[in-house]
Amino acid sequence: MPFLAKWYDLRDLGNAVGAFLDWIRDLGGPDWIPYVVSGLIGIVAILLWLLVSQLAFIWIERRVIGRMQARIGPNRVGPWGLLQPIADALKLLLKEAITNRYADKPLFWLGPVLIFIPALVVFAVIPFGEGMSLADLNVGVLFVIAITSINSIAIFISGWASNNKFALLGSMRAIAMLISYELVQAFALLGVVIFAGSMRLGDIVAWQSEFNTWMFLLQPLALVAFLIASAVEINRSPMDISEAESEIVAGYHTEYSGIKFGFFYAAEYFAGFAVSAIVVTLFLGGWTAFGLERWVPGWLIFLSKLYLVFFLFIWTRGTLPRLRIDQLMAFSWKFLLELLFIHILVVGAEVLIWHEGDYPAVVVLPIFAVINWTLAVALVVGWATFMGHLRPERRAKRAVLTQELGATYFRPAGGHGTGPMGEA
């Protein structure tokens, strides 16, 4: 087996796989065999990695949040509670998966299956290292935006099929959020595409490596907007209002139990990893790190960054309170979108100046970075002041639908009071 010789070169996993594929090709047979085999290797590797990371992060997340909230967290099963995820998985497998008598049974079954698809398919275009992507599509960024929107459809289907009013409320919120934040997500990534001049994820990483920069240094506003929008899209706290245990039991998966609930639980982590991978690829330089990739394998750099970004999601979950639905909607339409419009305009102008004037990147890029950072801070502070403190009557109000349904809320005498907190 001559291909085994290169397996030890762990710095480049693609090398080993390439050698294996060459070996298969040398054996003869039709052209499609190496093609199918390479696809299978990629799929199996990604699935295994996802499962292992997920098990690890279930434990890490519970321990870390426990620590943040001055609790202990799981510490009974195995040393430091390390076996807790496995115990959880066994428990979910053994519990009865109840189906509500009045549920829409095919759709009830379809929901948990469908929710896996976007989380897994996104990984097809992620470059884990140089040349280590299943399919480096030339419309990669668009593909990512398109696929992740399916997530909310899966949530909607499961909520509707449950035939439960809390589940339906949850799925209605999921759809409302999707409509609001899809645009934000697209606009955040548009800035990146304008700068890199390509929608191929591999090219965007190469662009960042070529100019020795990370995209978030140039476009901080886009990163923040994308992080918020994708936290909404994958239902991570504090934006998990379609789940919102404090308001609507468990939102769209109220009626799910046993392994069907386990599917939602697992898919949440998969989607989290997928979003973190996109953030790392587009904003944090992917598998490059200012020359470090010559000494450390690229996939290792990529995974370390990915785990750091995922830790950010855990961190926000552990520290920030859940937002109200009208606050989240207003934040998308009245805050993030306007800022992103200005951002796109500025970024477009910068690229135009750069390409027309043919200036060297070393001079231009730091100037752009300074401009964009200043602009981001000024815009966020300015717009927030304009929308919030200066004009109390402009603050997020209850959605019109909620009013028409006759929701009661506290209204102070003679004021513009709208929320239960008595904001006016």
What's the closest the beta carbon of residue 397 comes to another protein, in angstroms?
A: 7
Give the ranges where 293-360 is alpha helix by DSSP (H).
Answer: 298-319, 325-330, 337-357
What's the closest the beta carbon of residue 88 comes to another protein, in angstroms?
A: 31
Positions in the binding site for another protein (CB under 8 A): 32, 104, 106-107, 110, 137-139, 142-143, 145-147, 149-150, 152-153, 156-157, 160, 168, 171-172, 175-176, 178-179, 182, 199, 397, 400, 403, 418
Please give the helix or strand (H or E) that residue 159 lies within, else none. Answer: helix 150-161
Show the CA angle centred on residue 48, arms to residues 31 and 204, nearest 5°.
70
Between 138 and 304, CB nearer to another protein: 138
What's the closest the beta carbon of residue 350 comes to another protein, in angstroms?
A: 17
- Burial group, residue 362, by CB count within 10 angstroms (0-12, 13-18, 19+): exposed
Q: What are phi and psi of 137, to 5 degrees?
A: -65, 145
The strand ranges marked E within 105-195 are none
Q: Which two tokens stand for residue 137?
A: 């599509």
| DSSP three-state, residue 323 | coil
What's the closest the beta carbon of residue 208 comes to another protein, in angstroms?
A: 20
Between 197 and 366, CB nearer to another protein: 197
What's the closest the beta carbon of residue 334 comes to another protein, in angstroms?
A: 15
What's the closest the beta carbon of residue 8 comes to another protein, in angstroms?
A: 35
Q: Which two tokens stand for residue 85?
A: 């995820």
Q: What are phi and psi of 112, to 5 degrees?
A: -65, -30
What's the closest the beta carbon of residue 155 comes to another protein, in angstroms?
A: 11
What's the closest the beta carbon of residue 368 comes to another protein, in angstroms?
A: 22
Between 153 and 215, CB nearer to another protein: 153
Q: Which residues contact 97 (CB under 8 A, 6 or more apart)?
A: 256, 257, 258, 259, 260
Q: Which two tokens stand for residue 327?
A: 């606050």
> How many C-beta neighbours within 10 Å does residue 394 have?
13
Torsion of CA 80, 92, 54, 314, to 10 degrees: -70
Please check whether residue 170 is in contact with residue 104, taking contact to mean a CB–CB distance below 8 angstroms: no
Comparing C-alpha atoms, which of 210, 211, 188, 189 is closest to residue 200?
A: 189
Give residue 129's identity as a one-letter amino acid code: G
What's the closest the beta carbon of residue 283 comes to another protein, in angstroms?
A: 21
- Among positive and negative, which fits the CA dihedral 296, 297, 303, 309? positive
Quote the CA–CA distance of 285 and 153 in Å, as a whole number.
31
Between 99 and 316, CB nearer to another protein: 99
